[in-house]
Copies of this chain bind each other. A is one copy, B any other.
Amino acid sequence: MSCQHTSPQPINLRQKFALLTERWSPRVVAEMNDYQFKVVRLQGDFVWHSHAETDEAFLVLEGQLHIDFRDRLVTLNAGELFVVPRGVEHKPYAEQEVLLMLIEPRGVANTGDAGGEYTAPNDVWI
């Protein structure tokens, strides 16, 4: 099978974050089938929103991320993973800066159904 070639390079997440200064603006670092891995730098309050069509996975790489739900609060530290179920309203916020990886299908907008000024351009790679 010497005809097989693989093109992707390993993705160093720390190096990707070093290139990313903007907050609340996810950048794609890799794709797996029709899913994307995105890095995002967060601090402060995001908007309440939900994603009707998909779950959304959060993996905290540095810092402490809070996710408000209508019925409770979830707090994620570095090395913790959480999957927000589809259709469930949530509002991320962070007192100090957080480095986060998102995993979700291609085409998901960061503000989901809410829109507004925090809506970031989609499918931007870093």
Measuring CB to CB, which residues of chain A are less than 8 angstroms from any residue of chain B?
1-2, 4-6, 8-14, 29-33, 35, 37, 54-57, 61, 69-72, 74-77, 79-89, 103-105
Contact = CB atoms under 8 A, between A and B. Distances in A.
Contacts of A56: 32
Given A4-B88, A13-B79, 13 more contacts: A4-B69, A4-B70, A6-B84, A6-B88, A12-B79, A14-B79, A31-B55, A32-B55, A32-B57, A33-B55, A35-B103, A37-B57, A61-B79
Of the candidates A1, A8, A13, A33, the one having the most CB atoms from chain B within 10 angstroms of its own CB is: A33
B5 A71 contact: yes
How many copies the complex holds: the figure is 2
Given A29-B81, A30-B83, A74 B10 contact: yes
Contacts of A70: 1-2, 4
B32 A80 contact: no
Contacts of A31: 55, 83
A33 B33 CA distance: 13
Given A32-B103, A55-B33, A81 B11 contact: yes
